Amino acid sequence: MTAGTPPGAARLDGLDGLDGLDGLDGLDARIRLSRGVTEIDVALTAGPGEVIGVLGPNGGGKTSTVLALAGVLPLASGHVRVDGAVWDDGRRRLPPDRRRVGLMLADSLLFPHLRAVDNVAFGPRSRGVDRAGARRRALAELDRVGLADRAQARPRELSSGQQARVALARALATDPALLLLDEPLAALDPDTRARTRSDLATRLAAYGGVTVLVTHDPLDALTLADRLVFVEDGQVTQTGTPAQVLGEPRSAYVGTVVGLNLYAARGDAHGHVTTETGGVLVTTDPTEGAVWATIPPGAVSLHRHEPEGSPRNAWALRIRSVTMQGQSARVGLEGVVPLTAEVTLESVTALGLQVGQDVWAAVKATEVRTYPR
Protein backbone atom coordinates (compact mmCIF):
# COMPACT_ATOMS: atom_id res chain seq x y z
CA MET A 1 0.00 0.00 0.00
CA THR A 2 1.26 3.48 -0.68
CA ALA A 3 0.82 5.73 2.29
CA GLY A 4 -0.13 9.28 1.52
CA THR A 5 -3.18 11.23 0.60
CA PRO A 6 -5.09 9.73 -2.32
CA PRO A 7 -6.57 12.06 -4.91
CA GLY A 8 -9.68 13.79 -3.69
CA ALA A 9 -9.12 13.12 0.01
CA ALA A 10 -9.68 15.90 2.46
CA ARG A 11 -6.58 16.98 4.39
CA LEU A 12 -7.45 17.05 8.06
CA ASP A 13 -4.54 18.21 10.12
CA GLY A 14 -4.31 17.83 13.86
CA LEU A 15 -7.01 15.21 14.26
CA ASP A 16 -6.91 11.52 15.15
CA GLY A 17 -10.42 11.21 13.83
CA LEU A 18 -12.75 13.51 11.98
CA ASP A 19 -15.28 14.30 14.65
CA GLY A 20 -15.86 13.52 18.27
CA LEU A 21 -15.34 10.16 19.91
CA ASP A 22 -18.32 7.97 20.70
CA GLY A 23 -16.44 6.05 23.37
CA LEU A 24 -16.85 2.63 21.70
CA ASP A 25 -13.82 0.40 21.37
CA GLY A 26 -13.25 -1.79 18.36
CA LEU A 27 -14.38 -1.50 14.76
CA ASP A 28 -17.72 -0.28 13.46
CA ALA A 29 -17.79 0.02 9.68
CA ARG A 30 -20.33 0.20 6.89
CA ILE A 31 -18.50 0.21 3.59
CA ARG A 32 -20.43 1.33 0.54
CA LEU A 33 -18.66 2.06 -2.73
CA SER A 34 -18.69 1.18 -6.42
CA ARG A 35 -15.75 -0.80 -7.72
CA GLY A 36 -15.86 -1.53 -11.44
CA VAL A 37 -19.22 -3.19 -12.00
CA THR A 38 -19.56 -4.30 -8.36
CA GLU A 39 -21.58 -2.32 -5.82
CA ILE A 40 -20.01 -3.03 -2.46
CA ASP A 41 -22.06 -2.82 0.73
CA VAL A 42 -20.32 -4.52 3.66
CA ALA A 43 -20.95 -4.01 7.38
CA LEU A 44 -18.16 -5.06 9.75
CA THR A 45 -18.14 -4.76 13.51
CA ALA A 46 -15.64 -6.23 15.98
CA GLY A 47 -14.66 -5.80 19.59
CA PRO A 48 -11.09 -5.29 20.83
CA GLY A 49 -8.93 -8.36 20.34
CA GLU A 50 -11.40 -9.94 17.91
CA VAL A 51 -10.28 -11.53 14.63
CA ILE A 52 -12.78 -11.22 11.77
CA GLY A 53 -12.21 -13.60 8.85
CA VAL A 54 -13.47 -12.24 5.52
CA LEU A 55 -14.03 -14.91 2.88
CA GLY A 56 -15.58 -14.96 -0.57
CA PRO A 57 -15.10 -15.87 -4.21
CA ASN A 58 -12.75 -13.96 -6.53
CA GLY A 59 -13.92 -10.44 -7.24
CA GLY A 60 -16.38 -10.54 -4.34
CA GLY A 61 -15.08 -7.34 -2.78
CA LYS A 62 -12.72 -8.49 0.00
CA THR A 63 -9.69 -6.45 -1.04
CA SER A 64 -11.85 -3.40 -1.80
CA THR A 65 -13.18 -3.66 1.78
CA VAL A 66 -9.63 -3.76 3.17
CA LEU A 67 -8.56 -0.81 1.00
CA ALA A 68 -11.55 1.21 2.22
CA LEU A 69 -10.65 0.44 5.85
CA ALA A 70 -7.04 1.49 5.15
CA GLY A 71 -8.27 4.75 3.60
CA VAL A 72 -6.99 4.04 0.10
CA LEU A 73 -10.49 3.77 -1.42
CA PRO A 74 -13.06 6.45 -0.55
CA LEU A 75 -16.50 5.44 0.69
CA ALA A 76 -19.48 6.57 -1.40
CA SER A 77 -21.43 6.44 1.86
CA GLY A 78 -21.28 4.66 5.20
CA HIS A 79 -18.67 5.06 7.92
CA VAL A 80 -15.49 3.67 9.44
CA ARG A 81 -15.08 4.17 13.18
CA VAL A 82 -12.20 2.64 15.12
CA ASP A 83 -11.93 2.88 18.90
CA GLY A 84 -14.49 5.66 18.77
CA ALA A 85 -12.55 7.82 16.30
CA VAL A 86 -14.25 8.55 12.97
CA TRP A 87 -11.91 7.69 10.10
CA ASP A 88 -14.48 8.13 7.35
CA ASP A 89 -18.04 9.36 7.49
CA GLY A 90 -18.83 8.98 3.79
CA ARG A 91 -18.00 12.63 3.10
CA ARG A 92 -14.63 13.26 4.72
CA ARG A 93 -11.90 10.80 5.42
CA LEU A 94 -8.70 10.56 7.32
CA PRO A 95 -5.80 9.84 4.91
CA PRO A 96 -4.12 6.41 5.13
CA ASP A 97 -0.97 7.66 6.85
CA ARG A 98 -3.05 9.17 9.68
CA ARG A 99 -4.92 5.95 10.44
CA ARG A 100 -3.67 3.57 13.13
CA VAL A 101 -3.54 0.66 10.66
CA GLY A 102 -1.09 -2.22 10.27
CA LEU A 103 -1.10 -4.01 6.92
CA MET A 104 0.26 -7.39 5.85
CA LEU A 105 -0.19 -8.81 2.35
CA ALA A 106 0.68 -12.07 0.57
CA ASP A 107 3.86 -10.42 -0.70
CA SER A 108 5.73 -9.40 2.45
CA LEU A 109 7.13 -6.32 0.59
CA LEU A 110 10.16 -5.99 2.88
CA PHE A 111 12.87 -3.49 1.91
CA PRO A 112 15.51 -5.86 0.45
CA HIS A 113 18.50 -3.72 1.45
CA LEU A 114 17.43 -3.31 5.09
CA ARG A 115 18.06 -5.80 7.90
CA ALA A 116 15.00 -7.35 9.55
CA VAL A 117 15.31 -5.01 12.54
CA ASP A 118 15.45 -1.94 10.31
CA ASN A 119 12.47 -3.13 8.26
CA VAL A 120 10.44 -3.36 11.47
CA ALA A 121 11.84 -0.08 12.89
CA PHE A 122 10.85 1.78 9.72
CA GLY A 123 7.22 2.27 10.82
CA PRO A 124 7.94 3.70 14.28
CA ARG A 125 10.74 5.87 12.81
CA SER A 126 8.44 7.34 10.18
CA ARG A 127 5.96 8.12 12.95
CA GLY A 128 8.50 10.18 14.82
CA VAL A 129 10.00 7.68 17.30
CA ASP A 130 13.75 8.28 17.84
CA ARG A 131 16.27 5.82 16.40
CA ALA A 132 17.05 4.03 19.68
CA GLY A 133 13.37 3.76 20.66
CA ALA A 134 12.34 2.44 17.22
CA ARG A 135 15.12 -0.14 17.34
CA ARG A 136 14.13 -1.31 20.83
CA ARG A 137 10.55 -1.64 19.69
CA ALA A 138 11.57 -3.52 16.52
CA LEU A 139 13.67 -6.00 18.52
CA ALA A 140 10.79 -6.57 20.91
CA GLU A 141 8.38 -7.20 17.99
CA LEU A 142 10.83 -9.60 16.33
CA ASP A 143 11.16 -11.44 19.63
CA ARG A 144 7.37 -11.82 19.82
CA VAL A 145 7.35 -13.62 16.46
CA GLY A 146 10.32 -15.80 17.45
CA LEU A 147 12.91 -14.00 15.32
CA ALA A 148 15.11 -12.28 17.93
CA ASP A 149 18.15 -14.18 16.62
CA ARG A 150 17.51 -13.16 12.99
CA ALA A 151 17.27 -9.41 13.60
CA GLN A 152 20.44 -8.67 11.62
CA ALA A 153 19.48 -10.78 8.60
CA ARG A 154 18.48 -9.22 5.30
CA PRO A 155 15.26 -10.50 3.68
CA ARG A 156 17.09 -12.66 1.11
CA GLU A 157 18.80 -14.50 4.01
CA LEU A 158 15.42 -15.41 5.54
CA SER A 159 13.03 -18.21 4.60
CA SER A 160 9.61 -17.29 3.19
CA GLY A 161 7.97 -18.07 6.54
CA GLN A 162 10.50 -15.91 8.41
CA GLN A 163 9.89 -13.06 5.93
CA ALA A 164 6.15 -13.33 6.63
CA ARG A 165 6.85 -13.13 10.38
CA VAL A 166 9.00 -10.00 9.85
CA ALA A 167 6.11 -8.49 7.86
CA LEU A 168 3.77 -9.26 10.78
CA ALA A 169 6.21 -7.72 13.27
CA ARG A 170 6.44 -4.64 11.04
CA ALA A 171 2.65 -4.35 10.81
CA LEU A 172 2.36 -4.42 14.62
CA ALA A 173 5.33 -2.16 15.45
CA THR A 174 3.29 1.04 15.11
CA ASP A 175 0.63 0.00 17.67
CA PRO A 176 -2.19 -0.20 15.14
CA ALA A 177 -5.78 -0.15 16.37
CA LEU A 178 -6.72 -2.12 13.25
CA LEU A 179 -4.61 -4.89 11.74
CA LEU A 180 -5.44 -5.72 8.11
CA LEU A 181 -4.17 -9.07 6.82
CA ASP A 182 -4.93 -9.66 3.12
CA GLU A 183 -4.06 -13.27 2.19
CA PRO A 184 -1.05 -13.14 4.56
CA LEU A 185 -0.11 -16.81 4.04
CA ALA A 186 -1.04 -17.22 0.37
CA ALA A 187 2.54 -17.11 -0.96
CA LEU A 188 3.83 -19.86 1.36
CA ASP A 189 4.22 -23.56 0.56
CA PRO A 190 1.87 -25.88 2.51
CA ASP A 191 4.33 -26.87 5.28
CA THR A 192 5.58 -23.33 5.86
CA ARG A 193 2.00 -22.13 5.69
CA ALA A 194 0.90 -24.47 8.46
CA ARG A 195 3.78 -23.43 10.74
CA THR A 196 3.35 -19.72 10.02
CA ARG A 197 -0.41 -20.04 10.62
CA SER A 198 0.32 -21.33 14.08
CA ASP A 199 2.84 -18.47 14.74
CA LEU A 200 0.23 -16.00 13.52
CA ALA A 201 -2.39 -17.47 15.87
CA THR A 202 -0.03 -17.10 18.83
CA ARG A 203 0.81 -13.49 18.00
CA LEU A 204 -2.82 -12.50 17.31
CA ALA A 205 -3.89 -13.94 20.68
CA ALA A 206 -1.66 -11.34 22.37
CA TYR A 207 -2.82 -8.41 20.19
CA GLY A 208 -5.46 -6.14 21.73
CA GLY A 209 -6.70 -4.42 18.56
CA VAL A 210 -9.13 -5.60 15.87
CA THR A 211 -7.84 -7.88 13.11
CA VAL A 212 -9.51 -8.20 9.71
CA LEU A 213 -8.16 -11.26 7.93
CA VAL A 214 -8.97 -11.76 4.24
CA THR A 215 -8.35 -15.29 3.03
CA HIS A 216 -9.31 -17.85 0.43
CA ASP A 217 -8.22 -20.68 2.67
CA PRO A 218 -11.02 -22.08 4.87
CA LEU A 219 -8.40 -23.49 7.25
CA ASP A 220 -6.92 -20.02 7.87
CA ALA A 221 -10.38 -18.66 8.57
CA LEU A 222 -11.57 -21.56 10.74
CA THR A 223 -8.41 -21.67 12.85
CA LEU A 224 -7.59 -17.96 13.15
CA ALA A 225 -10.91 -16.08 13.16
CA ASP A 226 -13.37 -15.59 15.99
CA ARG A 227 -16.08 -14.64 13.52
CA LEU A 228 -16.50 -15.07 9.77
CA VAL A 229 -18.01 -12.66 7.24
CA PHE A 230 -18.70 -13.99 3.73
CA VAL A 231 -18.72 -11.38 0.97
CA GLU A 232 -20.11 -12.37 -2.42
CA ASP A 233 -20.72 -9.96 -5.28
CA GLY A 234 -20.15 -7.04 -2.92
CA GLN A 235 -22.74 -8.16 -0.34
CA VAL A 236 -22.49 -9.99 2.99
CA THR A 237 -24.14 -13.38 2.50
CA GLN A 238 -23.43 -14.89 5.92
CA THR A 239 -21.80 -14.04 9.24
CA GLY A 240 -21.25 -16.17 12.32
CA THR A 241 -18.72 -18.01 14.41
CA PRO A 242 -16.84 -20.79 12.61
CA ALA A 243 -19.00 -23.34 14.46
CA GLN A 244 -22.23 -21.65 13.37
CA VAL A 245 -21.12 -21.42 9.74
CA LEU A 246 -19.85 -25.00 9.65
CA GLY A 247 -23.21 -26.23 10.91
CA GLU A 248 -25.52 -24.05 8.84
CA PRO A 249 -24.13 -22.72 5.56
CA ARG A 250 -26.48 -20.25 3.86
CA SER A 251 -25.15 -19.85 0.32
CA ALA A 252 -23.82 -22.23 -2.31
CA TYR A 253 -20.35 -20.70 -1.87
CA VAL A 254 -20.38 -21.16 1.91
CA GLY A 255 -21.59 -24.74 1.40
CA THR A 256 -18.55 -25.42 -0.77
CA VAL A 257 -16.18 -23.79 1.76
CA VAL A 258 -17.47 -25.92 4.63
CA GLY A 259 -17.60 -29.02 2.44
CA LEU A 260 -21.32 -29.84 2.64
CA ASN A 261 -23.81 -30.55 -0.14
CA LEU A 262 -26.30 -27.71 0.21
CA TYR A 263 -29.74 -27.29 -1.36
CA ALA A 264 -32.22 -24.41 -1.32
CA ALA A 265 -35.51 -26.28 -0.85
CA ARG A 266 -39.03 -26.37 0.60
CA GLY A 267 -39.85 -28.75 3.41
CA ASP A 268 -43.16 -30.22 4.60
CA ALA A 269 -44.19 -31.51 8.02
CA HIS A 270 -43.70 -35.15 6.94
CA GLY A 271 -39.99 -34.90 6.22
CA HIS A 272 -40.18 -34.43 2.46
CA VAL A 273 -37.86 -31.76 1.14
CA THR A 274 -38.20 -30.61 -2.47
CA THR A 275 -35.15 -28.84 -3.90
CA GLU A 276 -35.38 -25.86 -6.27
CA THR A 277 -34.34 -28.20 -9.09
CA GLY A 278 -37.14 -30.68 -8.34
CA GLY A 279 -35.22 -33.34 -6.40
CA VAL A 280 -36.92 -34.86 -3.35
CA LEU A 281 -34.99 -35.66 -0.16
CA VAL A 282 -36.40 -37.52 2.84
CA THR A 283 -35.28 -36.35 6.27
CA THR A 284 -35.92 -37.28 9.90
CA ASP A 285 -35.24 -33.62 10.75
CA PRO A 286 -38.19 -31.83 9.11
CA THR A 287 -38.54 -28.05 8.89
CA GLU A 288 -41.55 -26.59 7.11
CA GLY A 289 -41.40 -23.89 4.44
CA ALA A 290 -38.30 -22.40 2.81
CA VAL A 291 -35.30 -24.37 4.08
CA TRP A 292 -31.68 -25.16 3.49
CA ALA A 293 -30.96 -28.89 3.39
CA THR A 294 -27.47 -30.36 3.86
CA ILE A 295 -25.90 -33.75 3.19
CA PRO A 296 -22.32 -34.48 4.32
CA PRO A 297 -20.29 -35.98 1.43
CA GLY A 298 -19.12 -38.78 3.73
CA ALA A 299 -22.74 -39.87 4.28
CA VAL A 300 -23.25 -40.76 0.61
CA SER A 301 -22.72 -44.38 -0.44
CA LEU A 302 -22.38 -45.37 -4.09
CA HIS A 303 -23.72 -48.54 -5.74
CA ARG A 304 -23.75 -50.04 -9.21
CA HIS A 305 -27.36 -51.15 -8.88
CA GLU A 306 -30.35 -49.79 -7.02
CA PRO A 307 -29.52 -50.48 -3.36
CA GLU A 308 -31.47 -53.21 -1.55
CA GLY A 309 -33.20 -52.63 1.79
CA SER A 310 -34.72 -49.35 0.55
CA PRO A 311 -32.66 -46.56 2.07
CA ARG A 312 -34.96 -43.55 2.27
CA ASN A 313 -32.91 -41.63 -0.29
CA ALA A 314 -31.61 -43.30 -3.46
CA TRP A 315 -31.01 -41.47 -6.72
CA ALA A 316 -29.70 -42.58 -10.11
CA LEU A 317 -26.91 -40.11 -10.95
CA ARG A 318 -24.03 -39.77 -13.41
CA ILE A 319 -20.37 -39.32 -12.38
CA ARG A 320 -18.98 -35.96 -13.47
CA SER A 321 -15.61 -36.03 -11.67
CA VAL A 322 -13.41 -38.25 -9.51
CA THR A 323 -10.52 -36.71 -7.54
CA MET A 324 -8.27 -38.27 -4.94
CA GLN A 325 -7.85 -36.67 -1.56
CA GLY A 326 -5.44 -38.58 0.68
CA GLN A 327 -6.96 -41.98 1.44
CA SER A 328 -10.37 -41.11 0.00
CA ALA A 329 -11.88 -39.88 -3.25
CA ARG A 330 -14.37 -37.13 -3.94
CA VAL A 331 -16.89 -38.08 -6.56
CA GLY A 332 -18.93 -35.34 -8.24
CA LEU A 333 -22.38 -36.56 -9.35
CA GLU A 334 -24.95 -34.86 -11.57
CA GLY A 335 -28.65 -35.49 -11.93
CA VAL A 336 -31.84 -34.81 -10.02
CA VAL A 337 -29.95 -34.24 -6.75
CA PRO A 338 -26.42 -33.07 -7.63
CA LEU A 339 -24.03 -34.40 -5.01
CA THR A 340 -20.45 -34.70 -3.96
CA ALA A 341 -19.70 -38.07 -2.35
CA GLU A 342 -16.61 -38.90 -0.35
CA VAL A 343 -15.79 -42.59 -0.63
CA THR A 344 -12.84 -44.84 0.13
CA LEU A 345 -10.29 -45.65 -2.54
CA GLU A 346 -11.40 -49.30 -2.14
CA SER A 347 -14.90 -48.31 -3.29
CA VAL A 348 -13.46 -46.48 -6.29
CA THR A 349 -11.57 -49.63 -7.27
CA ALA A 350 -14.33 -52.11 -6.39
CA LEU A 351 -16.99 -50.16 -8.29
CA GLY A 352 -14.57 -49.17 -11.07
CA LEU A 353 -15.84 -45.60 -10.84
CA GLN A 354 -15.31 -43.59 -14.04
CA VAL A 355 -16.42 -40.20 -15.28
CA GLY A 356 -19.63 -40.60 -17.33
CA GLN A 357 -20.70 -43.79 -15.53
CA ASP A 358 -24.25 -44.11 -14.12
CA VAL A 359 -24.44 -45.09 -10.43
CA TRP A 360 -26.88 -45.08 -7.53
CA ALA A 361 -26.25 -42.75 -4.59
CA ALA A 362 -27.88 -43.55 -1.23
CA VAL A 363 -28.20 -41.39 1.88
CA LYS A 364 -29.93 -42.23 5.17
CA ALA A 365 -32.79 -39.90 6.12
CA THR A 366 -30.99 -39.24 9.43
CA GLU A 367 -28.10 -37.65 7.49
CA VAL A 368 -30.26 -35.00 5.80
CA ARG A 369 -30.39 -31.84 7.98
CA THR A 370 -32.75 -28.94 7.39
CA TYR A 371 -32.98 -25.40 8.82
CA PRO A 372 -34.97 -22.32 7.85
CA ARG A 373 -33.79 -20.26 4.90
Q: Which of 61, 218, 242, 267 binds ligand ATP (CB under 6 A)?
A: 61
Distance CA 38, CA 307 (A): 48
Q: Which of 63, 251, 275, 301 binds ligand ATP (CB under 6 A)?
A: 63
Tell which residue, 43, 46, 39, 47, has the closest CA to residue 30.
43
Residue 64 near ligand ATP by CB under 6 A:
yes
Quote the least distance from Cβ 267 to ligand ATP, whole Å. Answer: 33
Quote the least distance from Cβ 94 to ligand ATP, whole Å. Answer: 21
**Shortest-Cβ-distance residue relative to ligand ATP:** 36
| 8 Å CB contact between 293 and 252 | no
Cα separations in angstroms, 281 against 122, 287, 319, 368, 370: 60, 12, 19, 8, 10
Q: Which is nearer to ligand ATP, 1 or 114 (CB)?
A: 1
Q: Which is nearer to ligand ATP, 58 or 325 (CB)?
A: 58
Q: Which is nearer to ligand ATP, 34 or 159 (CB)?
A: 34
Distance CA 49, CA 164 (A): 21
Sheet holding 85-88, edge to edge: 85-88, 77-82, 27-35, 38-46, 235-240, 227-232, 51-55, 210-214, 178-182, 101-105
Residue 2 near ligand ATP by CB under 6 A:
no
| 8 Å CB contact between 293 and 338 | no
Q: Which of 7, 23, 58, 325 binds ligand ATP (CB under 6 A)?
A: 58
The C-alpha R_g of the chain, in whole angstroms, comes to 25
Site size for ligand ATP, by CB under 6 A?
12
Residue 80 burial (CB count, 10 A)? 27
Q: Which is nearer to ligand ATP, 65 or 313 (CB)?
A: 65
Residue 62 near ligand ATP by CB under 6 A:
yes
Q: In the chain, count of helices (H) and strands (E)? A: 9, 20
Quote the least distance from Cβ 67 to ligand ATP, whole Å. Answer: 7
Q: Which is nearer to ligand ATP, 62 or 170 (CB)?
A: 62
Quote the least distance from Cβ 36 to ligand ATP, whole Å. Answer: 3
Distance CA 123, CA 141 (A): 12
Contact range with ligand ATP by CB under 6 A, out of 55-63, 154-162, 164-172, 222-230? 55-63
Residue 275 near ligand ATP by CB under 6 A:
no
Residue 56 near ligand ATP by CB under 6 A:
yes
Q: Which of 60, 161, 176, 184 binds ligand ATP (CB under 6 A)?
A: 60
Name the β-bridge partners of 222.
none
What mask of x and - would describe binding to ligand ATP in positions 8 to 47, judged by CB under 6 A? Answer: ---------------------------xxxx---------
Residue 41 burial (CB count, 10 A)? 17
Query: Which chain residues interact with ligand ATP by CB under 6 A?
Result: 35-38, 56, 58-64
